[in-house]
Structure 1
Amino acid sequence: MNKTPPLVWGLLVAGVLGVSSAGAILSHVDSIPPLMRASWRLQITVLMLLPFAIWQYREMDLVTRSRLTEKKTLLIILGSGVALAAHFGTWVTSLDHTSLAHSLLFVTSHPIIIVIGTALLVRRPHKLETIGALIGLFGAAITLLDAKNDGNVTLWGDMLAFAGAVTVVGYIVAGRILREWMPVFVYAVPVTFIGGILLIPISILMGEETSALGWIESD
């Protein structure tokens, strides 16, 4: 079994830090329309992950490489990219309509959705899974109570953030299927690329007037 290089662990740590601070950063870039802002974020992520995807691809054997071009694999990657675009599009838009705390609370509620989906479609959830989901729902309900008292919070914004949690489930499920044999960066790069590209025409159709690659020229 090949040992994971320290460089990969370093990138994963950097990725965790980037994700944990993304909400705060994106909420302060008010001059950029939300959908294009989300696209830029995914474009930058692709460039950061690409060298590691190339390295992992070169380490793959020929049999595994051949699976990358199978129709089933390509369809799952496409579906995952669509889900990721929907996730970032709704979540980043929610930052313009609700508080950062509310947005992060609802967009990270996907474990609750997974438990409910598991109960409906797969199996009866474990006791601890049920308890965790109930606690999450209770916390979300309490948070909604202050929507009328906080001028920065709107029900629409909270709903957008929750939609981000719902759509990211598709990305997670696709990842679980493909990650059984596909290296993480080889999976992440095409999915993230698709997500970033899909947001560009949607942003234009929504009337957002910003360059698709404007982050390159931004000061």
Structure 2
Amino acid sequence: MPPRPHPPTPLTTAAITIALLAVSSSGPLIAFAAAPALALAFWRNTLAVAVLTPFTLTSPTRTTELRSLTTTRKREGLHCVLAGIALAAHFATWMPSIQLTSVATATALVATQPIWQALIARLQGHRVPITTWLGTVLAVAGVVIATGADLTVGGPALAGDLLALAGGACAAVYTAFGERARTAAVTTTTYTLVCYSVCAALLLAGCLVFRVPLVGFDATTWLAIAGLAVGAQLLGHSMFSYALHKVSASTVSLLILLEVPGAALIAWLWLGQVPRPEALPGLVLLLTGIAVVVVTRSRANRVAAVPS
């Protein structure tokens, strides 16, 4: 049976707002940092783990919960680990794709995450309303128009397109496993610590195999890496993980699309990258699609709240 919809609390709404603002800084920081994409992905997760570890190890409740994931709650522990594997796959596919195809195309293709999320929900036996499908398609189309994606038919750019598409699918899997772990009442701190640790370990292995340098960067790049860890990772991914306790993975994936106009605004104000005038219709379409899904979810929540 699909989980009963829960209306988001003010705290959940605040968490999603903070997460959107935080993840919007990711693209501009990656563009600003003079370091390989895989190295950036490794350090943002490793630094996040370094911050989360003391909060876990100094709390008897959290250490008990962490141990339980390897004993009495192995299924929940497996979901945390699988989420970390999917997150590593997301970083390992999408971030390198930016170096093979255009940023606009990579952004548009990774934005197919809500479509993958809806397909996963359907495979899990959840009913996906037609209005949700409509809103999702409208939102993704809006991202494609806003970013000016230009799909390529051959060469390295095609490989980049496929990697970005895979990145969107991996992000959907990551969010789906995160939803399962969070609905099983695993706390956000414990879930993110396990997930980010697994992700960092896999990214480290990838960096070693492909001989990606992990040190030797200038001071501004390290500041950008710190910004990615604190902003996009701890305040972004972690707050979305927190929201999964009340909001479905499909809705979270759709709301993440608001990162596109957020990143564009930051890049404009900080890096001087002026948005294309043609992007406005796409942003309107994006917001329309999200509004359709949010209104649909809101009505479903009100119906679920009525006593039978």
TM superposition score normalised by structure 2: 0.55
Q: 1:91 aligns with which of 94, 109, 117?
A: 94
Structure 2 partner of 1:194: 198
Change (3 A) 1:51 1:88: same
Does residue 1:67 correspond to 2:71, yes or no? no
Does residue 1:169 correspond to 2:180, yes or no? no
Change (3 A) 1:123 1:46: same
Cα offsets for 1:168-213 (capped at 9, x unmatched): 22221221112121111211112111101111111221232x13xx
Q: CA deviation at 1:61?
A: 10
Q: Distance in 1 between matches of 2:121 and 2:15?
A: 32
**Match of 1:132, as an amino acid?**
G
Does residue 1:106 correspond to 2:109, yes or no? yes
Structure 1 partner of 2:25: 21
The answer (yes or no) to whether the contact 1:81–1:171 under 8 Å persists in 2 is: yes
Q: Distance in 2 between matches of 1:204 and 1:95?
A: 21
The aligned runs of 1:34-53 (5 Å cut-off) are: 34-53=37-56
CA RMSD of aligned residues (A): 3.5
The number of equivalent residue pairs is: 203
| Percent pairwise identity | 27
Comparing 38-47 with 134-143, greater Cα deviation is found at 134-143
Q: Distance in 1 between matches of 2:20 and 2:143?
A: 24
Gaps of 5+ in 1: none
Cα offsets for 1:70-109 (capped at 9, x unmatched): 3323322221111111111112112212333332322232
SS of 2:32's partner is: coil
Structure 1 partner of 2:268: none
Gaps of 5+ in 2: 1-8, 220-308
The answer (yes or no) to whether the contact 1:35–1:199 under 8 Å persists in 2 is: yes
The aligned runs of 1:103-142 (5 Å cut-off) are: 103-136=106-139, 138-139=141-142
TM superposition score normalised by structure 1: 0.74
Q: Distance in 2 between matches of 1:147 and 1:65?
A: 44
**Match of 1:186, as an amino acid?**
T
